[in-house]
Chain A
């Protein structure tokens, strides 16, 4: 293929040929192999200067040492290289690296808060119990009344107890419940404020897919208060939901609070139809449901809503999933829950900044469309059969293109200064490309492992020892029939046996799972209920465009939920 304008060119020029802060980084070319290393230290970065001043003030106030950048390397501070900014991929947003640490980024925190505080619970079993066991009439009017009661109660308000403390509404204003159903007639009869309207949120084809998948069932999408979820944990979400749902049914349907039949309702309304975002983990990892370790790549793909608004751009859909999932799995799950570290941010940012992965994937799409008759365009009858030869061809083309970019553009190599960053980006590009072309997630996964092999041989290096582990043995489990080894990619997740401990992979795998379906234009990857749960603009985090949201967080423009300013002294 003819040489093409690289999508990362602008980001590399911003990063390496223009001054940012006081880094004196001016001139040169993004293809230069040499650079001036000015060793200006941390003061070249405005954010680090701000942080140093904050650290000094804290130390003075509390009389105890705090953040001091001169503690780095016994007095040789960060910034021996130029400290440079990051462009959020797919946007023009240029931000400081520090502001992509989730602690410094309210949008990143909110993304995880919004997932952790969400659950789904079916309405149909509850309605059946109400009608058959308790003799209550269920009509659209009673459902509307119940939902009004529930949206009062869910944030933590009383409904039948008379003398109770309650949560302040202004602290829990992000909490609410909506419903959705595949029954258009029922949806029309429920007050629109409560309804996630499938016909409005999805195009005609996707809406039809969703409705065919869920039938005429009806479900509640519950989002408990961020502040509650932050104080407790993911496993709390369904419990909080259950208590308020139970009490709301009792209140809305004028039930006796003590009769035995209520126990039947309690089970059917609160537990029987529960769908959590993620599964609980085995005891050795000790996390309940709705914690990131149990979140499958398929669910992650469905949580991100880019597929609703970028149907004709399957690459973008996958890239948004890569960004969101890299942040969650690498920065928050492995980076904090599992390791307690700081550095994991650097792994994740490689996948969603500076358009390097984007460039590789869009190159793949062009290559696939040229060679395989438009197989990378959205559709189901244009896919190429997933064979060893197809995987080999696309993965090799993709990986060599990406490797050569690092060789031709030394600034991209310096941006992805660790081999683990490069390995994830190259493998994700190859995997997503094959998944889009074939509509087969495990073919995409196979491409991932071939990319890793090619990368290792070409550069004589890959990631760090632990990183490489799964990539050197993974090819054998791609199509394994044995249940403890093989599974469709969409059903694998952060706790899949050999994926459980290694940074830098899970976001990429999620992207491949997503690409499998974005290439087909599917409404969802694995679970239509999860897709619908987040097809809702009331969520503080906009799941249609996670990368933009991360940029807004870094630029301090994002407004999160769950703040305590109402009940603490003003500063």
Chain B
């Protein structure tokens, strides 16, 4: 019988959404063009070639190496791309993603990525074109609500702040805002103005965000009500604790 990954315990919608993020089985909700994505990321001019940090691997005459033979290089590595980042901030008011689940999504579903997980933001570093693939999937699918999440390289505060009166997550650098019912971004990740207004799509309604979120909240799906998840946390903690206690050694 082929093993089928279970990913995450729990009987609630939050647990189910966590399983979706981890498995990569995600619903696409919007389109963001490659050029718009490039502009928002701010690493290079939209439409320009990828700057490289070394020649393509095929031209480098790599040494004989079993690891190199066993592991196929990612497209970005093959081309010699720079390592660049995408970083998201997700509101604690039912944004679909949470930092750990963005990291799990990237680490499980992509190769050559280096996810970093903080409380207010989550960064993925990878070769530039590989990173863009991750960023595009996260931006275009149910992992992201443009009103409750943002691409933020710096000054990321907002995840824990109360929402603005229009329901959009606070952004100190005002990189994006609600205009005519959709979220418009006109600065890159670090707040440098870009040459366009990128339409990131409509923010989710409160009900839709509550349905799609991976965040347990007492006013939506309370953590304590997902008994299996709590039980599993207890089990992990107890096993680790008992493992450390080994007087026989």
B249/A481 in contact, CB under 8 A: yes
Majority-rule SS of A interface residues: helix
Q: Smallest distance from the beta carbon of B93 to chain A beta carbons, Å? A: 6
Q: How many angstroms from the CA of A413 to the CA of B219 in the assembled complex?
A: 15
A-side contacts of B119, CB under 8 Å: 418-420, 422-423, 461-464
Stretch with Cβ within 8 A of A (4 or more), from B38-46, B71-79, B127-135, B166-174: B166-174
Q: Smallest distance from the beta carbon of B12 to chain A beta carbons, Å? A: 12
Q: Smallest distance from the beta carbon of B116 to chain A beta carbons, Å? A: 6
Q: Residue A37 contacts which of B97, B170, B218 (CB distance < 8 angstroms)?
A: B170
Q: Does B163 contact A (CB under 8 A)?
A: yes
B120/A419 in contact, CB under 8 A: yes
A36/B244 in contact, CB under 8 A: no
CB contact under 8 A between A32 and B101, given known A461-B119, A476-B244: no
A482/B249 in contact, CB under 8 A: yes
B-side contacts of A162, CB under 8 Å: none
Q: Does A73 contact B (CB under 8 A)?
A: yes
Q: Does A458 contact B (CB under 8 A)?
A: yes
Q: How many angstroms from the CA of A406 to the CA of B160 in the assembled complex?
A: 9
B-side contacts of A482, CB under 8 Å: 249
Which of the four size classes fits the interface of chain B?
35 or more
Q: How many angstroms from the CA of A417 to the CA of B164 in the assembled complex?
A: 15
Q: Residue A460 contacts which of B98, B161, B238 (CB distance < 8 angstroms)?
A: B98
List which A80-112 residues lie within 8 A (CB) of chain B. Answer: 80-81
Q: Residue B162 contacts which of A414, A419, A461, A462 (CB distance < 8 angstroms)?
A: A414
CB contact under 8 A between A463 and B163, given known A37-B170, A388-B238: no
- Please name 7 pairs of A and B residues whose Cβ atoms are closer than 8 Å in the assembled complex, sorted by A: A33-B93, A34-B164, A410-B162, A414-B160, A417-B160, A418-B160, A460-B18
Q: Smallest distance from the beta carbon of A460 to chain B beta carbons, Å? A: 3
A459/B120 in contact, CB under 8 A: no
A450/B223 in contact, CB under 8 A: no
B-side contacts of A138, CB under 8 Å: none
Residue of B nearest to A480 (CB): B244
List which B118-161 residues lie within 8 A (CB) of chain A. Answer: 118-120, 155, 157, 159-161
The listed residue with most A CB atoms (<10 A of its CB), out of B100, B233, B245, is B233
CB contact under 8 A between A479 and B241, given known A34-B163, A414-B162, A416-B160: yes
A-side contacts of B215, CB under 8 Å: 459-460
B164/A418 in contact, CB under 8 A: no
Q: Smallest distance from the beta carbon of B126 to chain A beta carbons, Å? A: 17
List which B216-249 residues lie within 8 A (CB) of chain A. Answer: 216-219, 222-224, 229-230, 233-234, 236-238, 240-247, 249
Q: How many angstroms from the CA of A263 to the CA of B170 in the assembled complex?
A: 69
Q: Does A184 contact B (CB under 8 A)?
A: no
Q: Does A400 contact B (CB under 8 A)?
A: yes
Q: Given contacts A392-B237, A454-B230, A480-B244, could you give 20 more A-B pairs where the C-beta distance is less than 8 Å?
A: A34-B163, A35-B162, A35-B163, A80-B172, A81-B157, A392-B238, A413-B92, A420-B119, A449-B241, A450-B234, A453-B233, A454-B223, A461-B119, A464-B119, A475-B237, A475-B244, A476-B244, A479-B245, A481-B245, A481-B247
Q: Smallest distance from the beta carbon of B224 to chain A beta carbons, Å? A: 5
